[in-house]
Chain A
């Protein structure tokens, strides 16, 4: 048990350090973007969050397939944890996205295909969490949310494509990709990307531990009630 604790602290420390590094890079080291000025710095966080949200939802699909194949509780726990953390990340992406939109192009919502897909993703996985909440027997909950986890993610490429076409029909003022990447921005982007991935890992494991201990508690209660 001691070794796991040590590794856990190491992970949290690493996440913290990397976060600080990312902060330093994006706020100080990276140059201010010519057209948008300071506000562009939020891009690094926005991107870090967005990519990790997609990663989280992809891993939910992987965990769902894992559960359907092995029917072991651990996969289901990780699916739930990843979905929850994924939704938190997506919320952050949406909010920072719209604030940035407000600052740069003074519209709250830019209908950029990536941003809109993240919005749709946010709805899909809210549905996922609602589905989980509405089922009591954990085995049916695990099985059905696994199925929805797969259907949800398989749908993402089609959503992205249709929104991209949809947006090209309604040309919108500026899209996020319009920025030129100054080479010095790259470390900031990488650092924040890595920092948030580690954060994703830490949160998921923490959330998974909570479910596991809740499980242990529940089985102890059952045992306690029966004898």
Chain B
């Protein structure tokens, strides 16, 4: 019986870990995006 839970835990564990990893990368990318947009806005302001 224990093995069933072990196997289930592993199966769900890896899947959610992977999903979390993807989510985390997505967040990190969007952070960088906002940083970049902000930088372009500064340089545009600087040129006027």
Contact = CB atoms under 8 A, between A and B. Distances in A.
A99 B7 contact: yes
Interface in A16-66: 37-39, 41-42, 45-46, 49
Contact of B30 (A45, A100, A102, A213): A213
Contacts of A42: 3-4, 7-8, 11
Interface in B1-48: 1, 3-4, 6-8, 10-11, 14-15, 18-19, 22, 25-26, 29-30, 32-33, 36, 39-40, 43
A99 B3 contact: yes
What are the 10 A-B residue pairs with the smallest beta carbon separation, nearest first? A103-B3, A42-B7, A99-B7, A96-B7, A95-B10, A88-B18, A39-B3, A39-B4, A38-B4, A45-B11
A209 B18 CA distance: 15
The binding surface of chain B is classed by DSSP as helix
Given A214-B29, A217-B29, A217-B36, 12 more contacts: A39-B7, A42-B3, A42-B4, A42-B7, A45-B11, A49-B11, A85-B18, A92-B14, A96-B10, A99-B7, A103-B4, A206-B19
Given A42-B4, A92-B15, A217-B32, A210 B10 contact: no
A18 B39 CA distance: 44
B22 A203 contact: yes
A40 to B, nearest CB: 9
Contact of B10 (A37, A39, A99): A99
A88 B13 CA distance: 11
Interface of B: 1, 3-4, 6-8, 10-11, 14-15, 18-19, 22, 25-26, 29-30, 32-33, 36, 39-40, 43
Interface string A147-159: 0000000000000
B14 A213 contact: no
A194 B32 CA distance: 36
A92 B39 CA distance: 42
A220 interface: yes
A85 B6 CA distance: 22
Contacts of B22: 203, 206-207, 210
